[in-house]
Amino acid sequence: MDYRKVFDTIPEQFDRFRPRYSEELFKDLIAYAGIGEGKKVLEIGPGTGQATEPILATGCDYYAIELGENFYAKMKEKFGSCGNFHIVNDDFVTHDFGDRKFDLIYSAATIQWIPERVAFPKTLELLKPGGTLAMFLTNGDYRTPNEELYNNIQKVYDAYYKPEKLYKDMKEPFDYRHATDYGYVDFEKREFHGKRVFNADEYVAYSGTHSDHIVIPEPYRTKLFEGLREAVLAAGDKVEFLDTYVMYLAKKPE
């Protein structure tokens, strides 16, 4: 199984429940990279577009590469009418971009699925001199808002979280900080903050979008999700996430 494609089996659920990123993050990125009309941007693995619209709205020449066939179709459905939108259904690792060069290459919780020995050299080659690589992800804290609920959820995981393969074992180790080992400069980390609130059914649906949760075999998968639902219902049918949106930035030397 190509674990990079497990998400592609649930495009509608993924589209609805995967976290978006803060408006402040996009404003900061657009200003930092100088993105607007006439600039060329590549998004690696856009999924169903959780991080697409704010960049597309700048009027830049937006290009995406998406491995999943269902995600590709969803992206075409959502953004295909935009004149500056272009997408290809292929594997970034093997795709030939020809003579295309980009001012910005970015990834929202995707690039870590590509071996860094491929991801960093290839993105560096595809960037124009002085171009920006941006990589972001979400860290969700649901312990701080409700310690008791957090502990009850951990008990459910202790009993039923038995995936075929752990997330860390689905891919090669990846360290964002290693970008400078491959020729990038001006590496930095920026953080932004937000909040999500789910009811029990929404939380279960969101949990079901995690790669290692998708591959949990029965009967554990059903028991896990039933346990999560019961824990949230017992806590007032509410689970709150305090989100930190992490953005790593690096530059190709001029």
Alpha carbon distance 46, 49 (integer Å): 5
Contact 95, 119 (CB under 8 A): no
Encode the chain (254 residues) as per-residue pLDDT tens digits. Answer: 677 888 899 999 999 999 899 999 999 999 999 999 999 999 999 999 999 999 999 999 999 999 999 999 999 999 999 999 999 999 999 999 999 999 999 999 999 999 999 999 999 999 999 999 999 999 999 999 999 999 999 999 999 999 888 888 888 999 999 999 999 999 999 999 999 999 999 999 999 999 899 999 999 999 999 999 999 999 999 999 999 999 999 999 99
Contact 207, 213 (CB under 8 A): yes
Q: What size, in residues, is the chain?
A: 254
Q: How far is CA 171 from the centre of its chain?
A: 15
Whole-number pLDDT of residue 167: 80
Whole-number pLDDT of residue 164: 83
Whole-number pLDDT of residue 42: 98
Whole-number pLDDT of residue 30: 98
Closest CA to 98 of 24, 18, 164, 40: 40
Whole-number pLDDT of residue 4: 83
Whole-number pLDDT of residue 1: 65
Contact 67, 92 (CB under 8 A): yes
Contact 156, 228 (CB under 8 A): yes
- Give the CATH H-level superfamily of domain 3-140+171-194+241-251: Vaccinia Virus protein VP39 (3.40.50.150)
154: which 2 tokens? 């951990």
